[in-house]
Amino acid sequence: MHFVEKQNITIPDFPATGPILDIGGGGEGIIGILKGTQVITIDPHWGELTESAPGPHKVQMNGQRLGFPRETFGTGTSFCTFGYIGDAFHRAVFREIKRVMQSGGTLHFWDISAPAKFKPDKRYFVLPLRVHVRDQTIDTGYGIRWCDHAIDLAYYRDIAEHVGFETIEQASTGHTLFLKLHKR
């Protein structure tokens, strides 16, 4: 494993009416902490959902096959989830999120940014992270299978735009990234 220096990230509140779809919200449950019962969080692993904070509605579900009708959600989120989804499936998950998002809806997307693999003996790229959300500070870490290509802001933005999202805000600091996407 290749570890990088711990980073801090603050998750600001954002406006949202109606239910919020949170992709991969098990584990620390960052978006559930922020938005509580307004969140419907999905994760393919029930154990991850049971570990997360109380509040959101928790549904065991795979992001490649979301069991919701078209245009159900006005707001979607994903916090450090795509690193756990093989990069071969990233496009399919973005396509599914777009399908269940309402026209004009907004997707808030945070994740790890990793350069192309430069240490052949290391299989994983690991980012220790201190997350500030509401009045809580959570020390955690996220790791991804390290690829021969960069998994960064441009990578995710290109996939999202290819499936039909428009980038309305973007930021990258160290090994974290944020995209605010709009469904056209």
Residue 76 sits in a domain whose CATH number is 3.40.50.150
170 part of a folded domain: yes
Name the pTM for this structure.
0.96
How many structural domains does the chain have? Answer: 1
Q: In the predicted model, is pLDDT for residue 152 greater than 90?
A: yes
Tell me the HSE value of 9 on the side-chain side, using a 13 A CA sphere: 27
94 part of a folded domain: yes
Q: Tell me what the mean pLDDT of segment 27-31 comes to.
A: 95
71 part of a folded domain: yes
pLDDT in tens, 100-111: 999 999 999 999
Percent of the chain with pLDDT over 90: 96
Give the pLDDT confidence score for residue 86 in this predicted structure. 87
Give the pLDDT confidence score for residue 184 in this predicted structure. 87
103 part of a folded domain: yes
61 part of a folded domain: yes
91 part of a folded domain: yes
50 part of a folded domain: yes
What burial letters (b/e) apply to 60-92, b meaning 16+ CB within 10 Å? ebbbeebebeeebbbbbbbbbbbbbbeeeebeb
Average pLDDT, the chain: 96
Give the pLDDT confidence score for residue 142 in this predicted structure. 94
How many angstroms separate the CA atoms of 119 and 20, rounded? Answer: 39
- 3-state secondary structure (DSSP) of residue 158: helix
Q: Tell me what the mean pLDDT of segment 54-67 comes to.
A: 96
The domain in which residue 58 lies consists of: 17-113+149-183
Residue with tokens 């992270």: 129
Give the pLDDT confidence score for residue 137 in this predicted structure. 98
How many angstroms separate the CA atoms of 35 and 108, rounded? Answer: 13
Give the pLDDT confidence score for residue 180 in this predicted structure. 98
CA 32 to chain centroid, in Å, comes to: 13
